Amino acid sequence: MSRRATPRKRAKATADAPALSPRTALALLVAGMLLGCTVAGWLPAWLAGWMLLASVWTFALYWRDKRAATRAQQRTPERTLQVLALLGGWPGALFAQSLLRHKNRKVSFQQVFWICVVANAACTMALLRAFA
């Protein structure tokens, strides 16, 4: 006998403040920090542009993979999603994980994802120190 998956209950948002997931909040915080650092001149415009482009591309691949998963079509390899996160697309990946609810509960994927985030942040800081 097959068991039907029970739908997840969503937390009710109050009329005053809609629920904002921690992933969405972090993605928005990082985007704001990148913008602020670019405007202040601490982050080169080319690096901010690269991270924006990588984030949009990563978000699009998450969307395509989620769509393929629901339609039983060919999926985007997890390694591709993780490499894009490592190359600077992790804010877009974080936003996609929150908005699309995709790849956000798979523990093995999340472990590698967060290693990629830390590695990218460390490389970005080292790059900024080298050019400062």
Summarize pLDDT for 30-63 with one digit per residue, the tens.
888 888 888 988 888 898 899 999 999 999 999 9
| pLDDT over 70 at 90, yes or no | yes
- Which backbone phi and psi does 53 adopt, to 5 degrees? -60, -45
When the pLDDT of each residue in the chain is averaged and rounded to a whole number, the result is: 84
- Reply yes or no on whether the pLDDT at 79 is more than 70: yes
Q: Is the pLDDT of residue 17 over 60?
A: no
Residue 61 pLDDT: 95
Mind listing the pLDDT tens digit for each residue in 94-130? 999 888 888 888 889 999 999 999 999 899 888 888 7
- For residues 73 and 61, is the Cβ–Cβ distance under 8 A? no
Cα–Cα distance for residue pair 123/83, rounded to 1 Å: 14
